[in-house]
Structure formats: C-alpha cells, structure tokens
Amino acid sequence: MDKAAIYCRLSEEDRNKACNTEDSESIKNQKAMLTQYAAEHMWEIYDVYSDDDYTGSDRNRPAFNRLLKDAEEGKFNIVLCKTQSRFTRELELVEKYIHDLFPLWGIRFVSVVDNADTSVRGNKKSRQINGLINEWYLEDMSENIKAVLTNKRKNGLFIGAFAPYGYKKDPDKKGHLITDPEAAAVVREIFDMYLSGMGRAAIARYLNERGVLSPGKYKADKGEKYSNTSKLEEAKWHGQTVAAILKNEVYIGNLIQNKSHSISYKSRIKKPVPKCEWIRAEGTHEPIICKEIFHAAQAISESRKQHTHIDRKVMNIFSERIFCGKCGSILRTSVCNHKRYLRCGGKMYDSNSCEGTYVLYDRIYNEVLSQIRKLTCELSDICIIKENAALQNSSDNALKAVEISIEAVRRQIKETRDCIKKLYIDKTKNEITSEVFSELIGEFTADETKQMCILKEIEDKKKLIENDILNRQDNSEVIKNYLECDRLTYEMIRLFINRIIVHKDTGRSRRFSLEIFWNF
C-alpha cells in the first residue's frame, strides 16, 4: 500500500481558534478533505504535517522542513496537499522539490484542487504555470503590503512587531501605542539622570547595579517572543542602549518609521533608507517625556560630541553656561585625586592665557542650588501656586469624566446602529411587518441623531477643558515644580540661568563668588 504524507498550511490565524495551540478551522478542513481523499485511493497515511500561520514563501516552516527530511529518508512515497500553493508559492522550490528531488527520492506529489500530479504525463507544464502564477501572486502581494504599510505609517500607525521600550501595543486600537507604566518610569529616570550630568555609560552601570531589566530582557520577561538577543539571561544595559532611548522621538509622542526595508520579498535582509525618505508622524500617542526635556537631552548630546576630546570622563550640568571671571573662557570639568573640579578652559589650552579658575564642582553646585531656591521663593506666591494646582487637579478630573461620558455615548450609538441593522435583517426575513419596521426604524434613527448631538456637545466640552489646561502652563506652574528642589538638573540650569561668572580670589585662597545672570 502507498504511504501518503499530508501537508496543510494556513498563512493567517483563524479567529475560530480556542487557543494558540489549537489548529485553525481551515487547517482542520484541509486535514479532513485530504484524509478522505487518501482513503478513497486506498493510501495509508504516514503522518500529517501542519504549518499554521506561515506564508507560502517562508522556507523556515517547521512542519515543511520536517516533511522534506522524512521524504529524503523514504518514509513515504506520496506528498498530498490541497493545492500546490499550500506546499509552496515559490517557483524555485517547485522546480527544486516537485520536479527534481521528489522524483529522485521516489516521491509522487499530488494536490487535490488544482489537479497537480507528478505521475500524470504532460502535467508538468500545468504545475509550472501554477508555480509562476503563485510567484506573481507573492510579488503583487508584497507590493500591496508595502503600499498598505506605507499608508499606515503616514497615518501615524505603529506597525512594528514589538512596541518601543516604555510602551505597549493598545489591545483596543490597532497601530496605537499606550504607555507601559513600569518601563516608562525607567525611561523618565534615564532622561533625569542624563540631564543631571550622568553619562550614558554611567547610567547603564547604574541600571545594571540596581537590577533593572534591559529592554530585550524586559520584553522576554513579559512573555513576548523577542529574540533579538541570543542570551537574554545575560543581556545588560549598555551605553548604546541608553543613547538609543535618549535620541528616540517616540518618547515625545512622534513616530519615525521606514528607516530600513527588505531588499526583496524573498529576503529578510534589510538595508537602510535615506533620511529624507523616513516617514514622520507627530503626536500619534501619549508622550513619556516632554519636548523641553527631550530637546535639552539632545543639546547635551551635541555639546558632548563637541567636547569629547576634553571632557571624556565627566560632564557638568553647567556646560556652556559657566565662565571664568578672569578670561571669560568656559569652565570645564576635570578630576584630580578622585575629586571633581571646574577649571578654566583657557588655562587648559594655554597656560599663559589666564591664572586659571579652579574650583570644586560640588561647591559651585551647592551655591547655585541655594540661589535657585532663593529665587523661586522670591518669584512665587505660594498661595496662588497652590490654587493653580487645585485648579489643575479639578481640570484633570473634569477631563476624565468627559472622556468616560464620550465612551458611554459612543457605546450607545453603536448599540443603536446594531439594532437598526438587525431591523433590516428581520424585515428582509419577513419576521416583522412593514408598519412595525417603519415605526421602529424612525425611533432608532431619532435616537441616533440625538446621541450624535450629545456626543458633539461633549467633545466640544472636552476641547475647552484641554485648552484650559494648556493655557494654565505658565511661569508660575513651572516655578512651582522647583520650589523644594533638592538637586540640580540640566533642564533647571537652562530654565533659570543665562550664564554664570565665577570670580575666584587670587593665590591659593579657596574663596570665590558667583555672578548669576537669570532668565527671569
């Protein structure tokens, strides 16, 4: 008796699946049809090979490769499929296996629906034509998919396999990113540390010492099939990882996609796309970092690039803001005997140009922090700020209430429309009379119109609340955030200070004075 190997494949996940491990309904139908066909031809079924959720151009299909291995070992003499395209859509594989290796191994290939059968003389041209049509199908489908994905990118939809670190995919809205609170907190901390003067490598070391999971390991820990790192248990934070986060505009609500693409639909190898062809969409999702902090981080990065040859080990948050009172040169950081200093840049380049301001970094830091605290108290009316904070909380609560109302009205509109659809179906089936249909359809239509008016009113109210919140972001709100600050950041220095002049007493004296030029 001939032995047949049944091969089934489906490229899209069937919605009738009860769980991920269950075969889709279409796969079950293929198995039933092919099993019956084998029984009618008195063939013994050796095994059923099933690849669910794999495309016909994927050469790494597990069941497909297992079938080829068993075929080479002579475990059966017939390969039975629903159509030739179920086996493969590539003309190259049709020629390689169906026309070359299968006959060499004594394997007969049969597909039921399109009548492909290698035992029938003169059937080869038909199989080759089918293979060519399938090849064209793959190419056309690839171009169509590219066009669809390009359109989605332009419309601000995220199409990546994995959400960027700090975000997760919205289960209720395809292509939309929502904040992952746990990872987002780490992203904010990275920006805070960077703005406070820490370098990227130092940030990475700090995160590793605290046991914070790296982005790759975090995805794996959350159950995602992320395999970018070969040994996830050994994955650590690196300076490059921190740098990638610091320069990624996704954290201010923007999506920049189409940075690379596959060289062809048959290959997964990607090549970079010129920057002018990147697709940018702004304000597509909730930002984790405000734009001011993000741009401040970019400014630090650019500054460090310019002065890497000088400040290779340490960087100060006063960068480009603090100057020598003697010669006007920028003060740069240096380390001596494990202590951090600010010293005159002019002295570093030319020992004869200046006596050289040389002050402990911490002393400058503490003095500036004290001056900023004093300034915020002078500029701020505590009572007004508290009142503004209360108004802000009130607006936030009102906004949440309005959003809940909008969702409720939208659900009512959907239910009304579902009822209208059901009425038309019942009318078509003659389950209700024309008089009843006309009466009910009038009521439901009136309800829908009323609900749409209510929805518009609530959405207009939401816009007013949002504008009110935005308009309240004034200087008093900014100053409030720093009333009780306990440390300096790069952002604070840029916000409050235009420049700092350090006047140091001559000789070996440690005394100095600061002349601060404020932005207020």
- Domain positions in the chain: 3-151, 176-292, 316-380+486-518, 382-475
Measure the CA–CA gap between 271 and 459, rounded to whole angstroms: 44
Cα 450 → chain centroid? 39
449-507 per-position pLDDT tens digit: 888 888 887 787 777 767 666 655 545 556 666 666 778 887 788 778 888 988 877 66
Please give the DSSP secondary-structure letter assigned to residue 388.
H
Measure the CA–CA gap between 36 and 32, rounded to whole angstroms: 6
Measure the CA–CA gap between 172 and 341, rounded to whole angstroms: 53
Q: Give mean pLDDT, residues 13-39.
A: 69
Q: How many CB atoms lie within 10 A of CB 315?
A: 21
Q: Give mean pLDDT, residues 332-345.
A: 78
The label of the residue with tokens 């420049």 reads 499
In the chain, what percentage of residues exceed pLDDT 90? Answer: 17
Is the pLDDT at 226 greater than 70? The verdict is no
Q: What is the CATH number of domain 176-292?
A: 3.90.1750
Which pTM was predicted? 0.42
Measure the CA–CA gap between 133 and 144, rounded to whole angstroms: 16
Q: Give mean pLDDT, residues 55-78.
A: 90
Measure the CA–CA gap between 86 and 76, rounded to whole angstroms: 19
Regarding predicted confidence, which is higher, 382 or 114?
A: 114
Q: Which residues contact 5 (CB under 8 A, 6 or more apart)?
A: 45, 46, 47, 48, 49, 67, 70, 71, 75, 76, 78, 79, 80
Is the pLDDT at 17 greater than 50? The verdict is no
Beta bridge partners of 260: 272
Q: What is the CATH number of domain 3-151?
A: 3.40.50.1390
Angle at 23 between CA 18 and CA 27, to 5 degrees: 130
435-454 per-position pLDDT tens digit: 878 888 888 888 888 888 88
Which residue blocks in 308-381 are alpha helix, DSSP H?
345-349, 361-379
pLDDT band at 414 (very low <50, low <70, confident <90, very high): confident
Q: How many CB atoms lie within 10 A of CB 58?
A: 16
